Amino acid sequence: MLEDICISLETARKLVEAGIKIESYFFWVHTYGFDIESKWEIRTMKELIVLGLDQEIEDDVHEVALFEVYPAPTAEELWELLPFCIGKKPNSDLTPYMKDVTLGGIAYWDRESKEILHLIVIKSTLCESFAKMAIWLKQNGYCVGGERSAEASRL
C-alpha cells in the first residue's frame, strides 16, 4: 500500500505548515461533496492530472474545489530534500555538519569532532524520520530542499 512508503497525512500537513516546498509523485487527497464519500487517500501525480488538480498544486494551493491536497513524499524524495551538509557553528573552526543515517537514526554531525548537532531516532518509518529532520532544519533556520541562504544569495 502507498501509505507504507509515504509520510502520514499529519506529517504532510506539518511539512506544508513549516513552509517546506516538496516535489513529490504522491499526494494525500481529500475528496468530498456530491455523491463522493468523504475520505483521504494517496494519489499519484498522474491521477491528479486526470482530475485537473495539477495546476492548483503548481500554484501552491492546498484547498481546491472539492479536494484538499498535500504532498506525500517517499523516503527517497525526502532524503534528496535534506541538504548534504549544513554550516558550521558561529565562531567555530569545526567543519560543516554532514547528514548521515547512523545509530538507528538520522543525524547531522561533525565528522572531525564527532559532535552531533541534531539526531532523530527512527521510531516509525524512515520517511517519517526524514520529514521530522526537514521540519527541524526549517524551524531552526537552515535551508531545505534547494532553498538558498541569504548569504549564498548575495554571492
C-alpha cell at 141: 533556520
* Domain residue limits at 109: 76-147
Q: Are 49 and 69 in contact (CB under 8 A)?
A: no
Q: And the C-alpha cell for 24?
A: 513529490
Residue with cell 517546506: 20
Give the Å distances, CA to CA, from 3 to 11, 26, 128. 12, 10, 11
Q: Is 84 found in the same domain as 24? A: no
Q: Are residues 68 and 80 in the same domain?
A: no
Taking the model in full, what pTM does it have?
0.73
Average pLDDT over residues 132-141: 87
Summarize pLDDT for 32-47 with one digit per residue, the tens.
655 556 778 888 888 7
> Quick one: how many helices (H) and strands (E) in the chain?
6, 8
- Do 89 and 142 sit in the same domain of this protein? yes
pLDDT digits (tens, 9 = 90+) for 62-91: 444 456 889 999 989 998 888 888 876 555
Higher pLDDT, 75 or 96: 75
| Residue 117, domain member (yes or no) | yes
Whether 122 and 82 share a structural domain = yes
Average pLDDT of the residues in 18-40 = 79
Domain's final residue, options 11, 44, 74: 74
Q: Is residue 80 part of a domain?
A: yes
127 and 91 part of one domain: yes
- H helical segments located in 6-112: 9-17, 45-51, 54-58, 75-81
Number of domains into which the chain is organized: 2
pLDDT surpassing 80 at residue 25:
yes
More confident residue, 148 or 25: 25
Measured CA to CA, the distance from residue 37 to residue 69 in angstroms comes to 16
